[in-house]
Structure 1
Amino acid sequence: MSLPNNRMTAIVCYGPEDYRVEEKDRPSPGPGEVVIRITACGICASDCKCWSGAKMFWGGDNPYVKPPVVPGHEFFGVVDEMGADAASHFGLKAGDRVIAEQIVPCDRCRYCRSGSYWMCEVHNIFGFQRDVADGGMSDYMLIPRTARVHVIPPELSLEDAAIIEPMACAIHTVQRGDIQLSDVVVIAGAGPIGLMMVQVAKLKTPKKLIVIDMVPERLALARGFGADITINPAEADALKIVQDATDGYGCDVYIEATGSPSGVVQGLSLVRKLGRFVEFSVFGKETTVDWSIIGDRKELDIRGSHLGPYCYPIAIDLLSRGLVTSKGIVTHDFAFADWDEAIKLANSLDSIKVLMKGGG
């Protein structure tokens, strides 16, 4: 049964493992705001950790998640309605396919004003804080005035358009690694974003690209995307293989995308002295390492990677030219009403990227 024009279906987060499919009021745009009709919204690993109750989302006196909130930050859709001045503000017209970056910058803090908007001090991310930034797991979604919005070309497939956000994150992470032609690069974790990192890192043409994961099917995909060596650490000695490939020195760049504390410990072992360690993952629990490795033993360059700043146009361009792809990564899709089934599959090793599909 169809809903009235002013109502919509949405997934609403109330707490860990308490996500409900509900009927809600459809948003209306104010001045400078846009309402989009959602086409698809991916389930991210951070969505799975949030659903599972990870401490980083729910711990402490001021938890990051502010329920009730509509989750979802890997969305795209079609411009449905615009408030006053929104068309000129964003450079949009009705019917455009668009994506907004996952952060809603305040545009007032020192980071926003200096151009580092992705590190905004307020730091509202779509899908985690109620009212300010409801996410894309709904029929319609409000895009605030300070959002960063990009137009998606009509020829881009639904699946490719749905991975623009994680692809932008992958691009930013690879850029943080400052990969050189002579580098041996290790990417640990061949989940959805890890597999996107493999594709992007291959475009940098490193001397050798090594991928580590424990799922054979994902390692096979990594090889298809250009990995020179793949390692299942449950079956082979990753340290020996990397040392054999580097004359005993270790890799030049280690990108941590496992989301597991063991991936950090492993990386500090595999990376060479004066190497670059890039940390991307969102962890479900705290990680403990021998910190002296970083300074006294190896003098490592430790770099974080957060979101996909300035990388959305690059992601759209690479996808449009077929240099990177969603093929093999997007494995399942569900209607919003089937959330319970979708999150359980997304939170397992039986899928890679799961999409929630709307009607846009």
Structure 2
Amino acid sequence: MRYVWGAFAEYVCCTPFSLKVLPKELPLIEGSLIEVLPGIIHAAELGDISPNKNVLITGQGVSGLVMTQVVSMFSPKNLVVTDIFDEKLALARKYGATHTYKMPHEHASTMDIVGADFPDGFDVVIPCLLEGDGMVDAINAAAQNGRIVMYGCIGTCHAPVDFFKVHKKRLDIFSTEPKRDIDNRRYFDEGLRLVLDGLVNTEEMITHVVPLAEVARAFQLRNEHKGDTIHVMIDCEVK
């Protein structure tokens, strides 16, 4: 299995080091989400999570739900997650979240919703939202001397980032992609083992399977952004 960029290309050029064969006993459709695990495991390690820390994960899409499963194994004091859909929050509770909060809309301030319960903010904040504005929200939600692990927030940021607040709070900010190939492969092996051992569920998040001939419908489903649509798979073998 490759973990290099390729999208829907028929062929991808890569080195043998970038290939990983999945076990035959693992259904290929369940193995599709393993590719997010290297960055997620690395993010959890960068968070330096321990039983005396409060952790916030914003967003419970595909990566956010996998992140919740992995972070819960690091035994945080409280694992708080947010999303705008009840269906995804229900899965998050099943996966180990101690507190779940429904956001009224995508651009709502997290501390406006959770601040009454966690007035001091969070020791570790892991935004799993695509848009860059989630980084502004993460800075506001981080506690004094906290750290932010940027799994998400890779899109355009339209809101101004208050770097003085970052300085005043003494925040540490980390990027999650492993920098060395050897680490990426090691995290891939660890993620595969978590799935095979039943500690991370990748099957439950697959809500739609669409044949390749209907690929346009697959993107339409994904872009509708509904609570009952999490991971849309394109099966090239289904007619």
Report how far residue 211 of structure 1 moved: 0.3
Q: Which amino acid aligns with 2:99?
A: I
Q: Say what the alpha-carbon RMSD is for the aligned residues.
A: 2.3
Cα distance in 1, alignment partners of residues 152 and 209 from structure 2:
24
Q: What residue number does 1:148 align with?
A: 18
Point out where structure 2 has 5 or more consecutive residues left out of the alignment. none
**TM-score under structure 1 length normalisation:** 0.59
Point out where structure 1 has 5 or more consecutive residues left out of the alignment. 1-98, 103-125, 128-134
Cα distance in 2, alignment partners of residues 268 and 239 from structure 1:
10
Q: What residue number does 2:57 align with?
A: 187
2:169 counterpart SS class? coil
Q: What residue number does 1:319 align with?
A: 195
Deviations 1:53-81 (A, max 9, x none): xxxxxxxxxxxxxxxxxxxxxxxxxxxxx
Deviates more, 1:173-182 or 1:210-219: 173-182
Cα distance in 1, alignment partners of residues 202 and 187 from structure 2:
17
Report how far residue 354 of structure 1 moved: 1.1
Cα distance in 1, alignment partners of residues 204 and 122 from structure 2:
27
Contact between 1:101 and 1:147, CA under 8 Å: does it hold in 2? no
Contact between 1:100 and 1:143, CA under 8 Å: does it hold in 2? no
Q: Which has the higher strand share?
A: 1
Contact between 1:170 and 1:194, CA under 8 Å: does it hold in 2? no
Q: Which has the larger radius of gyration?
A: 1
Cα distance in 1, alignment partners of residues 2 and 27 from structure 2:
17
Q: What residue number does 2:163 align with?
A: 291
Of 130, 144, 149 in structure 2, the residue corresponding to residue 273 of structure 1 is 144
Q: Which has the higher helix share?
A: 2
Cα distance in 1, alignment partners of residues 114 and 49 from structure 2:
17
**TM-score under structure 2 length normalisation:** 0.86
Q: Structure 1 233/359 Cα, relative in aligned 2: closer, same or farther at 3 Å?
A: closer
Q: Which amino acid aligns with 1:169?
A: G
Identity rate of aligned residues, in percent?
Answer: 29
Cα distance in 2, alignment partners of residues 220 and 265 from structure 1:
26
Deviations 1:27-56 (A, max 9, x none): xxxxxxxxxxxxxxxxxxxxxxxxxxxxxx
Contact between 2:132 and 2:153, CA under 8 Å: does it hold in 1? no
Q: What residue number does 1:355 align with?
A: 233
